[in-house]
Amino acid sequence: MRLIVSFFLLLLASTNISAQSIEGTSETFSNNEPVTNTEIAIIPEPVSVIKQTGHFILPANITIQAGRSAELKQTVAFLQERLTTATGHYVTTISTPSPTATFKLILNEKTDASIGAEGYQLSVGLKQVTIRANKPAGLFYGVQTLLQLLPKEIESKELVKGIKWTMPCVEITDFPRLGWRGLMFDVARHFFTKQEVKQYIDAMVRYKYNILHLHLADDEGWRIEIKGLPKLTEVGAWRVNRTGTFGDFIPPKPEEPRNYGGFYTQEDIKELIQYAKERFVNIMPEIDVPGHSLAAIAAYPELSCTPDAVNYKVRSGEKIMDWSRGAPPLGIVDNTLCPANEKVYVFLDTVFSQIAKLFPFEYIHVGGDEVARNFWEKNDQVAALMKREGLKTIPEVQAYFEKRVEQIITAKGKKFMAWDEVLEGGVSQSAAVMSWRDMKHGTEAAKAGHEVVMSPTQFAYLDYMQADVITEPKVYASLRLSKSYEFDPVPEGVNPIYIKGGQANLWTEQVYNIRQAEYMTWPRGFAIAESVWSPKEKKNWPNFFARTEQHFKRLDIAETKYAPSVYDPIFAVKRSADRQLAVSLSTEVEGLDMYYSFDNSFPDHFYPKYTTPLVPPIDAKVLKVITYRGKTPVGRMMNMPIEELEKRAGKK
């Protein structure tokens, strides 16, 4: 079988037939060791890859040829730095054409309509590498692909010796499926420094994301300087520092210092925008109103409908919402801006005026989600507003608020975007919708003629647990890698012109630092990247996961944290007729073996291998399981308490 596969690959290479359906795929044989072509493992999957014969060998003296365009400066510097750091080779750059240049970055004189503004053509020959594109962004994305063709050690932050720096000869034509390829980074729940945001941008551009959605304000912190409103950052940016399971903290005591947090000055924001722009990323700001506004209200209590707001503090992780009846929640405290208070609209005009001047991106996101309306329902000001404006329901009150806010946004020359709840009371036709609750709301919005960005929880919420709750920071839902890979941002029956693209969202209530932010983003960020960039017909889970495993090795060398959860066993439990537990184990990927113990010791591949459902011995306290591929452990040691299995099985 191996000889047949090798012969077939050789035949494809020698005849220049597209080998994209072969490259990066994996076949599992009887010994459970996958045979994978690791030379071409590109994420996201390109439109076309044609494998050629031979290999390009990186010379000791490298010349990069690129034009004088200012937009190419960062791309050239990026490539130069990456090549120099890991290889130690000498790299020079030139702006005039040279037949002997090692790397040629060429902007097409005549536009190639087939690849659009972000596409590229990459040709790796025996002696020279050429990237062609219509626009500088295409050359930048071509460089990202180029680096993925080099050995994984190219990701090193220091010199690596003893590596043969080669690339397979290949012809690649590539362009994105969708224009909006976003990641949302919540810097409100936990503050991330300017340098950490840059680190996040550096990671996302490797996988051709082009939108960074910054969630800049919430109950837990206001993160952007607004001149003339100093308390937003003096008061609203700081809270009591607590560690543990966010949302279940005891209320802070008056004497506890409020010194945990931070904010970005307007100069910081300008620096981040420029940094992102050089990497062909737009930053979209979000100020979440009218709900999720406790930090603003703590700074300026007059923005609330509720007199008791003078006693409110920025949330430190204590419970402030009652979700027992579902959505929308009941507010335990009133974290909403008052829709009947003209001071609110003056405040928002000031905020959005400055944000509009700071951020070049055409959209401003204004939130609109999870508004606890119970304080509005019993408020005299709101009742007077309803009578005056002829509003019959509380959702119509929010719709009134959203229309006022949209007028502010559009007056600044920007476009209004909000979460899908704003559809409930009605919004203007020009409002853009980010659909998070499920695909249904985005589908309805698109059919009604709204611009839509799909970011549904069931595929794209990166704060969700990736494996069993016994190993993950506890969140109310789970999202495994294979499920993320099923994301199709363009649903059937919808005119695709209304689907701007797709986005994954990283909420950070349970994400305390940048390392955990990386862990939650990758590898699910690979799956979303491929969903918004690659042709729909190219998507293939075994192929994708084979490439993902190669990128795990790259992330290891880059010292980027990621979740190995895809290797972890999946537990299912039920009771038999005699009420005994029956524990079934499965894995997200094929070709893995699972070994287990009930005796408190740590199993390896000499222990019993799982083949049929397990019945825990009568006095056992814990089931330990680990996954192997052949003789190599690939999963984490899972320690499942029998007591937890009993709870999951329930009573029968």
212 by DSSP, 3-state: which? Answer: strand
- Say which of 71, 112, 370, 444 is annotated catalytic: 370
Phi/psi at 74 (5° precision): -70, -35
- Contact of 131 with 147, CB cutoff 8 Å: no
- Contact of 328 with 437, CB cutoff 8 Å: no
- State how far Cα 303 lies from the chain centre: 33
Answer positive or negative: Cα dihedral of 369, 374, 380, 384.
Answer: positive
643 is a catalytic site residue:
no
- Contact of 273 with 283, CB cutoff 8 Å: yes
Residue 421 to residue 456: CA distance in whole angstroms:
13
Query: Which two tokens mark 76?
Result: 């050239």
- Contact of 116 with 141, CB cutoff 8 Å: no
Nearest to 287 by CA among 428, 412, 447, 458: 412
Strand partners, 132: 106, 121
- Say which of 45, 218, 402, 406 is annotated catalytic: 218
Residue 377 to residue 636: CA distance in whole angstroms:
50
- Contact of 268 with 237, CB cutoff 8 Å: no
Answer positive or negative: Cα dihedral of 34, 39, 43, 46.
Answer: negative
Query: Which two tokens mark 118?
Result: 């972000």
Residue 591 to residue 379: CA distance in whole angstroms:
61
605 is a catalytic site residue:
no
Query: Which two tokens mark 116?
Result: 């659009």
Nearest to 450 by CA among 407, 497, 488, 406: 497
153 is a catalytic site residue:
no
Strand partners, 186: 215
- Say which of 213, 292, 365, 441 is annotated catalytic: 292
Query: Which two tokens mark 442?
Result: 């985005």
Q: Which residues contact 530 (CB under 8 A, 6 or more apart)?
A: 43, 44, 45, 485, 539, 544
Whose tokens are 């990497």? That residue is 279
- At CA 312, angle to CA 306 and CA 315, rounded to 5? 125
Q: Which residues contact 648 (CB under 8 A, 6 or more apart)?
A: 571, 573
Residue 353 to residue 571: CA distance in whole angstroms:
52
Catalytic residues: 218, 292, 370
